[in-house]
Amino acid sequence: MFSFLKADPKKKLQKRYEQLLKESFELSTTDRSASDKKRMEAEEVAKQLDEMT
């Protein structure tokens, strides 16, 4: 009955992926190693998204 209130896991992962990419981009001008770590996290989230599809 209230299924519309449940969070869609794909949407959550997509939002997380976009957030990590944004953070990576912002860090790229100041701290390259932190930017690379964020990018790696984003790639892991992307793999999870691909597995769900």
Domain limits, the chain: 8-52
pLDDT tens, residue order, the chain (53 aa): 566 667 788 999 999 999 999 999 999 999 999 999 999 999 999 999 999 87
pTM of the predicted model as reported, rounded to 2 decimal places: 0.83
Give residue 8's pLDDT: 86
Q: What is the 3-state secondary structure (H, E, C) of 1-53?
A: CCHHHCCCHHHHHHHHHHHHHHHHHHHCCCCHHHHHHHHHHHHHHHHHHHHHC
Q: Are 10 and 52 contacting, i.e. CB atoms less than 8 angstroms apart?
A: yes
Give residue 50's pLDDT: 94
Give residue 3's pLDDT: 67
Give residue 53's pLDDT: 75
Give the span between the Cα atoms of 33 and 51, in whole angstroms. 27
